[in-house]
Structure 1
Amino acid sequence: MLLSDFKDRHKGRRGWVVGNGPSLNKMDLRFLAGEVSFGMNCIYLGFEKFGFRPTYYTVEDVFVAEDNREAISGLGGLVKFIPTDLAHAIADDENTCWVNFVRHYKPYPQFSEDCADKVYWGSTVTYLALQLAYYMGCDPIYLIGVDFDYKVPGWAENQEEITSREDDVNHFHPAYFGPGKRWHHPRLDRVEPSYRLAREFFDARGRRLINAGVGGKLEFFPRADYRDVLREG
């Protein structure tokens, strides 16, 4: 499976990039079963509760990949986009498409117009999903569950790499980064320029990138109510 196979696959069709924030618990996500959607990281913890499986799945954080290797490798019924440098953790199979993922580059950030060539790190897996959705031609692209709001325990405030001691309050499921799970300090100051560039990139090309989530602090994109989007068809 080659990434070039997905070029403009959903041209002109709306797509949903599904983050993992607590706001997902305030939404009825069953509608996603009939939509083009992009899930990431530990979204599989909500499959049964939310009543959908994303069309596409991606992960780029080495801690998430290594600490959840069996669950991610075992995901079926969707296409997985996995950076080549995570091959040590994630098994190859017929559902996996390997990505040339560029982690270290200058100037930062950059947004890829050709994912078959390379895809750029943007300090959040959501940025990888946005590049994939753009490459597939989705328009508009709606973000949900991207709350842009993290609480870091006081004991971990100055740590770049954190091993949890308690339930996760930053995601929709307490076991997401629960006790013993490793995670990187969210560093929203690094994420913000990525989101701002994404909006500039979309706006310059007449494409729409919209925050349709519930609540949260993501204000870099115009907002819409996901229920209104569905009513409008």
Structure 2
Amino acid sequence: MPPSNLILLGSFLKNMRDIKNLRGHYNDERVFIIGNGPSLNKTPLEKLKSEYTIGLNSIGWIYSETDWRPTIYCNGKRYPRAHWPNGDYSIISKNIKLADFCFFDPNWRGILGEQKNVFYLDKWKLQTGPFHKYNIKKIKSISNRQLYNFWSDDISDLIYHYHTMYEAVQIAVYLGFDAIYFIGCDLGLEYLSPHLIFESGLDPFHFDGSKYDYLKTAIRERSLGRSLINGIALNLIRRISNNKMINYFNTDTSDHFIPDYLTVDIADGPQTERELIKSHIVSKRVCENKGINIYNATIGGELEVYDRVDLNELI
């Protein structure tokens, strides 16, 4: 084995060993997972200064508005240069200096290197396989054993990825927290519909069912031709987006606490929101099975999977 490969293997094994040492580090404590939703702009984050918190992704851009800082930082972005195209990782470096522990996709290793409080998590994407095919009703009804097809109890081995918030819950459970609260988890994603050539036809993006169900429903509603054209338009747009979504279908989004957080495309909106809800249902069911309390303390928003609590009354 070439020396460079031996070095990489050694780094990988050390990373795995160090993550194993984190299991139960915060046993019997509570933690607040801070998302990037627009409700952060009206959330009194200063109240969390004495609490354990996990900050996600671009949370650093709110530091100029508050003196709160996260205990733990989790960045679920798999392609650093796609989200930081100008190569300015200063806000990432700041998070590493501030946080006790930081968790990244392995693609960050070439940028960040080996640092004492930085850990790289191998991931399994839930966008493939049965999770993506199951609807919300199915996720609610599968057995507890089946839930672990989508959940990791040992993040040193792998972590299941759909969105960063979902990773953060698996990390929080692994670290031993026995109460988890969400803040800045708004949902209500912006929806673009350039594929709706006919408003009177079915919207294939909204439709929660198989292609066969789609056709049956279109026939029943006497909109088969219009619905088929909408479906063909959606497929064409998705093919374009796979080669980089053209600017016409991109727009700034208000789904996050800063206006230029990212651009949304047709992959956002109701379908993505259903997938997010499914991952929250898995989180809730797993945590309840483990005796871990899990709540939504977000101000407003549309996440109703968990019982809601008032942050001002909580602290």
Q: TM tier, shorter chain?
A: 0.7 to 0.9
User: What 5-or-longer segments of structure 2 have no aligned partner?
Assistant: 1-14, 132-148, 196-204, 206-233
Shift of 1:155: 4.8
Asked if the contact 1:145–1:213 (Cα under 8 Å) also holds between the matched residues in 2, the reply is: yes
Asked if the contact 1:162–1:185 (Cα under 8 Å) also holds between the matched residues in 2, the reply is: no
Size of the alignment, in residue pairs? 227
Match of 1:20 among 36, 47, 59: 36
Q: Describe the shift of the 1:125–1:228 C-alpha distance in structure 2 as closer, same or farther (beyond 3 A).
A: same
Q: Distance in 2 between matches of 1:162 and 1:229?
A: 43
User: What 5-or-longer segments of structure 1 have no aligned partner?
Assistant: none
Asked if the contact 1:177–1:183 (Cα under 8 Å) also holds between the matched residues in 2, the reply is: no
- Structural mapping, 1:8-157, within 5 Å: 8-63=24-79, 66-68=82-84, 70-71=89-90, 73-75=92-94, 76-78=97-99, 79-103=101-125, 106-108=129-131, 110-121=150-161, 123-155=162-194
Q: 1:185 is matched with which residue?
A: 268
Deviates more, 1:104-113 or 1:165-174: 104-113
Report the structure, 1 or 2, having the larger helix content.
Answer: 2
Q: Which secondary structure does the structure 1 equivalent of 2:181 belong to?
A: strand
% of aligned pairs identical?
24
Could you report, residue by residue, the CA deviation over 1:188-214 in whole angstroms, capped at 9, with x for unpaired residues? 122221111111101111111100111
Q: Distance in 2 between matches of 1:170 and 1:49?
A: 18
Question: What RMSD over aligned residues (CA atoms) do the two structures have, in Å?
Answer: 2.7
Q: Distance in 2 between matches of 1:143 and 1:80?
A: 18
Asked if the contact 1:73–1:90 (Cα under 8 Å) also holds between the matched residues in 2, the reply is: no
Q: 1:201 is matched with which residue?
A: 286
Q: Describe the shift of the 1:155–1:95 C-alpha distance in structure 2 as closer, same or farther (beyond 3 A).
A: farther
Letter of the 2:104 counterpart: I
Q: Distance in 2 between matches of 1:228 and 1:176?
A: 30
Greater Cα radius of gyration, structure 1 or 2? 2
Q: Distance in 2 between matches of 1:201 and 1:22?
A: 28
**TM-score, normalised relative to structure 1:** 0.85
Shift of 1:48: 2.0
Q: 1:222 is matched with which residue?
A: 307
Shift of 1:80: 1.4
Q: Distance in 2 between matches of 1:138 and 1:58?
A: 16
Could you report, residue by residue, the CA deviation over 1:77-131 in whole angstroms, capped at 9, with x for unpaired residues? 212101224434554433311112222664436111121222111x211000000
